[in-house]
Amino acid sequence: IDPKTTSRSAQSAFFVLYNSDGVLDETGEFISFNIETISHTTTTPGSISSDVMWVDLPGKSYHYADGSTIPPPTIPPGIGEDLHQISLGLRIAAGIMMGLIFIFSIGFMGWTYYHRTTHIVRASQPFFLYIICIGTFIMGSAIIPI
């Protein structure tokens, strides 16, 4: 392990690339696979991890999904990664709304407890009002992952 990056050294692993070709038999019922080694990794002694390279075996070539040995076109350069993250302003606004939901949920729960003996609150069933307040509190907490 590299003490600077705490990453595993590339020289500590040996990678092999295989071709696996399926061949249907004469009856059309069975497929037999032919697996052959095409390439492997190697390093030069005393080299750094970026010096790991693939070495092709003589007379062997990789077969792509279309059956050819020509690699498909690469991804065009300049295509960046868009993480689709929410802007800081929207995250702050969502946090403020979440705080308001928490305050109102707890506030209305307190209001219900304080007025639980009045006729209109008893008719609305305080236990049911508590469940509604708890539900809105949980709904507001769904903003946290944002």
Both structure tokens of 33:
């696979």
110 burial (CB, 10 Å; 0-12 / 13-18 / 19+) is exposed
- Looking at the DSSP assignment, which residues form a beta bridge with residue 16? 40
Per-residue confidence band for 10, with pLDDT thresholds at 50, 70 and 90: low
Q: Would you say 94 and 143 are in contact if contact means Cβ atoms under 8 Å apart? A: yes
Token readout for 145 is: 């992952």
Looking at residue 1, its pLDDT comes to 64
pLDDT for 142 beyond 80: yes
Handedness of CA 124, 127, 128, 130 (dihedral sign): positive
Q: Residue 50 contacts by C-beta under 8 Å, 6 or more apart in sequence?
A: 10
Whether the pLDDT of residue 43 is over 70: the answer is no
Q: Is pLDDT of 40 > 90?
A: no
Opening angle at CA 120, ends 115 and 122, nearest 5: 70
Q: What pLDDT band is residue 11 in, cutting at 50, 70 and 90?
A: low
pLDDT given at position 18: 76
pLDDT tens-digit readout, 62-120: 777 777 777 666 656 666 667 778 889 999 999 999 999 999 999 999 999 999 999 98
Residue 50 has pLDDT above 60, yes or no: no
